[in-house]
Structures are given as C-alpha cells and as structure tokens.
C-alpha cells in the first residue's frame, strides 16, 4: 500500500480533472444520444446534469444518459460550494450561471404532463418489437403530472419523460434538491423568484411525503419500503430549511414524525442502524448499507442523533467498514477499506463504489472539525480513505462508478458525475478540517 503523507498534489490533480469532467456533464448541449432500438434521439438541454456523459447501451456498461433528481442535486450542492470558494468574480459567476440554469430546467420538469406526452409520442410503435418489454406502461406515463412528477427518479436530459421501466417512486430527490438550493443561498447565491418557487415546491412535497414508503437510493426493485437514507435527508431539509416553511406547526409535526421513524431503525441487538424497515437481515452485516454514510453526509445535521457526532452513527460506520474489509479481497492490508453498498450486492459484480468510500472520508473530516473528537486522528483516518481511493484510481484521475472487488479494475459506468462530485466534496471537507485543526 502507498503512504498517504503526500496526498496534496494528487488531490489537487484529481479535483482539477473532476471539475472539468463534472462541468462537461452539466448543460451538455453539444452531445447527442441516439437509442436506435427505441428510435429516440436525446440532446441535453441547458441546466440538465448527466449522471454520466458516456454513451453506453448496457453492453457492457450501463446507460446513464439521464438527469437523475438525486445525482443532479448532489452535484449542484457541490457546485454551490465551488461558487463560494471561487477565486475570482468571473469564476463565481460561471458557477452561479450553472446553478440558475439547473433551477430553470428543474422547474420545466415539474410542468410536464404525461397524458399530453402520450398524444404526441409514438415511442411504443417506433420501438423494435424485441425491446418493447423495456418500456413502462402507458398508464404509468399518463398519470405523470404535478405531484407525481416529483416522485420520478429520473428524466431524459432533454426535459422529456423517461419511457423506460424503472423502480419508482422515489421521495429523496426533492429533499436533496431543496438542500442544494439552501446551500446555494448560504454560499451567496441569488434569491431569484425561480429558485424560491422551486424551493417551496420541494419543501411542500417533502412535508407531504416525509416517512412514506418508496424505493431507496439504489433504486432496487422490490424495495418499496422505509429507508434510512430517504428519511434522514428529508429530516435534513426540515432542519436546514426551518425558516422557509410557511406552516411552522406542520413542519414541527413532520420533524417529530421523521425523528421517531429514524429512531426505530436502531437495532439494539446488533448495535447498528438498519438501512431499511422492515429489516431484511438477521445479522448486523445484513442490516447495514453504505448508503447510511451518504445519508449522514447529505443531511448534515448540526448535532444530535443521526449527525456525525451520534455514537450510533459511528458504531454503524465501524460495522460497515469491518464488513467490507472482510468482504473484498482488494481491502487486504489496507488501513482503510474501499466500501461497496450492501451485503449480497451483485450489480456489475457488487464492487467498491467511489461515492461510498469518499463518504467515509468526508465523515471523518467532518468529525475532525468538531472539538469533541481527536482531530489529528480523524484527519489521519480520512486521509487513509483518500489513500485507498488513490490506489484504485488510474493515473489520469478518471473516476467510474465502482471498481471490481477482487482486481480493483474500474467497472460499470465510466466518468460517473456523482463520483467526481463526491471527490471534490471530500477534498473540500478535508480543507475545512485542516483549517479547523490549525486554529
């Protein structure tokens, strides 16, 4: 294993690469995506965020040429931080422009109408017969308008409805987008009428669907249930957006409901938070999911239960780390393990994911900013995770979705925008932790 005393130059290079690649996925109007079997041509619109700009057809890489509500919100929250840290007015204005385009595109999505789409679309007849099994039912599309659109996991980046079968509905997207908007305002972004409208749209949706069963962050079929990740990011927006809710009593009641629901995720026998309720495992290994680390990171509660200061969160993180240290051959001899998603994951081999491993690093750095922790130890632990990422990253700094659990070779989607955002976010958390430790 490589030493991690000299991480600075490498982090700087990958941040530079990641910034350029992430930017290329935003408003990628220069790209054209042709899905020949479906007679579909997609040109991204201004403000859209591609999950990956790489064109693939599940042969063998997945087709991620979509605008996901979750992924795009996570990316734009990082963009807000980059705007805040910009070294010049011109750079700050560029990031602000990207965010405002994103707001406009998001509002356009909220005004789509599935029934109207079907009157114009001939996608079913135009699709080759052997591929029609991948199309979602027309009745499902026809029901898409207003509230239902906010439960959609993804859209085409040209601002049209996703015609493919997928796991639905998903209720974390609006909460994450609201958190991105709040982060943008906190970073000095403009309080435009469009942003205020989008923020209220997402806050109201979160109030109505807080704690409701839905699919989880991994969008696995058959998991329409109660997810720790979904409920915690919903709680996060209630906490950070407290002053934006017009009905304070409804907000308070919803917060109480979410906190009670999240408390039920604690498994006293196994001393971990369960990722889903009802539980699907009979051991701690079967209850945990690295999405729980993403939940704590994305919700960013200032203190108390489900924050980085929560001892139960720390116990759960330790259990996740120990599981993947045992599970993945690539982790033998490492100071900090590369993390996958959950026990039994087989998606593209169920390897280690960059976003989950970088989430562990970010949480360590966030703890290092807290005077109640051993700052030096937390910084060193975060750096150990970053060193693991370095070991699994090619020289050019390209980041895929995951790496093979045995060989460490990159797999699944290439140039995953979320991976770059996760890396830039971890680097920023590291810089903030080092500044706090120097005080």
The Cα–Cα gap between 363 and 297 comes to: 6
Between CA 194 and CA 51 the distance in angstroms is 24
Domain annotation covers residue 1: no
- The percentage of residues in the chain with a pLDDT greater than 70, rounded to a whole number, is 98
**In the prediction, which pLDDT does 358 show?**
98
Is 46 part of any domain?
yes
Residue 401 and residue 252: Cα distance in Å, rounded?
A: 38
* Confidence grade of residue 438 (pLDDT, cut at 50, 70, 90): confident
Asked, for residue 2, whether it belongs to a domain, the answer is no
Residue length of the chain:
439
Domain assignment of residue 196, yes or no: yes
**What is the model's pLDDT at position 4?**
58
Confidence of residue 147 (pLDDT cuts 50, 70, 90): very high
Q: How many domains does the chain have?
A: 1
* Stated pTM of the model: 0.97
What pLDDT is recorded for position 370? 85
CA distance 389 to 383: 10
pLDDT tens for 5-62 read 689 999 999 999 999 999 999 999 999 999 999 999 999 999 999 999 999 999 999 9
438's tokens: 């120097």
Q: How far apart are CA 6 and CA 272, in angstroms?
A: 34
Residue 42: helix, strand or coil by DSSP? strand
Per-residue model confidence (pLDDT) at position 26 = 98
pLDDT at 282: 79
Residue 180 pLDDT > 80: yes
> What pLDDT is stored for residue 6 in this prediction?
87
Q: Would you say residue 409 lies in a domain?
A: yes
Q: What is the pLDDT of residues 331-349, one digit of tens each?
A: 999 999 999 999 999 999 9
Q: What is the pLDDT of residues 415-433, one digit of tens each?
A: 999 999 999 999 999 999 9
Structural domain span for residue 241? 7-438
Tell whether the model's pLDDT for residue 253 goes beyond 90. Answer: yes
Q: What helix, strand, coil percent values describe the chain, rounded to 5?
A: 55, 10, 40
What is the chain's mean pLDDT, rounded?
96
**pLDDT tier for residue 125 given thresholds of 50, 70 and 90:** very high
At 263, which CATH number? 1.50.10.10
Is residue 244 included in any domain, yes or no? yes
pLDDT average, residue stretch 79-93: 97
């Amino acid at each position: 294993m490589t030493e991690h005393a000299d991480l600075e130059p490498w982090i700087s290079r990958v941040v530079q690469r990641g910034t350029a690649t992430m930017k290329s996925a935003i408003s990628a109007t220069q790209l054209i995506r042709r899905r020949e079997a479906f007679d579909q041509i997609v040109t991204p619109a201004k403000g859209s965020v591609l999950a990956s700009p790489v064109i693939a057809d599940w042969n063998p890489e997945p087709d991620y040429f979509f605008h996901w509500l979750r992924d795009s919100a996570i990316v734009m929250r990082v963009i807000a931080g980059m705007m805040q840290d910009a070294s010049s007015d011109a750079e700050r204005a560029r990031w602000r422009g990207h965010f405002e385009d994103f707001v406009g595109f998001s509002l356009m999505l909220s005004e789509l109408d599935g029934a109207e789409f079907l009157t114009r679309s001939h996608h079913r007849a135009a699709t080759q017969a052997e591929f029609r099994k991948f199309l979602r039912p027309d009745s499902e599309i026809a029901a898409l308008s207003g509230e239902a659109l906010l439960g959609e996991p993804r859209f085409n980046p040209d601002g049209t409805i996703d015609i493919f079968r997928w796991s639905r509905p998903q209720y974390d997207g609006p909460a994450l987008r609201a958190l991105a908007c709040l982060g943008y305002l906190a970073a000095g972004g403009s309080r435009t009428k469009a942003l205020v409208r989008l923020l209220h749209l997402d806050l109201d949706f979160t109030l109505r669907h807080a704690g409701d069963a839905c699919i989880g962050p991994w969008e696995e079929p058959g998991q329409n249930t109660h997810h720790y990740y979904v409920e915690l990011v919903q709680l996060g927006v209630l906490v950070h957006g407290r002053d934006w809710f017009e009905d304070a009593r409804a907000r308070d009641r919803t917060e109480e409901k979410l906190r009670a629901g999240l408390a039920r995720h604690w498994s006293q026998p196994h001393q971990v938070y369960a990722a889903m309720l009802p539980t699907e495992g009979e051991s701690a290994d079967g209850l945990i999911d690295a999405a729980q680390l993403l939940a704590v990171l994305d919700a960013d509660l200032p203190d108390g239960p489900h924050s980085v200061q929560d001892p139960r969160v720390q116990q759960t993180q330790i259990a996740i780390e120990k599981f993947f240290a045992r599970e993945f051959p690539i982790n033998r001899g490492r100071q900090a393990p590369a993390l996958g998603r959950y026990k039994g994951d087989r998606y593209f081999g169920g390897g280690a994911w960059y976003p989950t491993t970088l989430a562990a690093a970010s949480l360590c750095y966030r703890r290092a900013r807290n005077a109640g922790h051993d700052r030096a130890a937390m910084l060193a632990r975060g750096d150990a995770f970053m060193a693991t990422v370095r070991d699994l990253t090619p020289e050019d700094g390209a980041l895929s979705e995951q790496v093979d659990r045995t060989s460490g070779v990159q797999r699944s989607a290439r140039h995953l925008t979320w991976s770059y955002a996760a890396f830039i976010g971890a680097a920023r958390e590291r810089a903030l932790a080092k500044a706090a430790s120097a005080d």
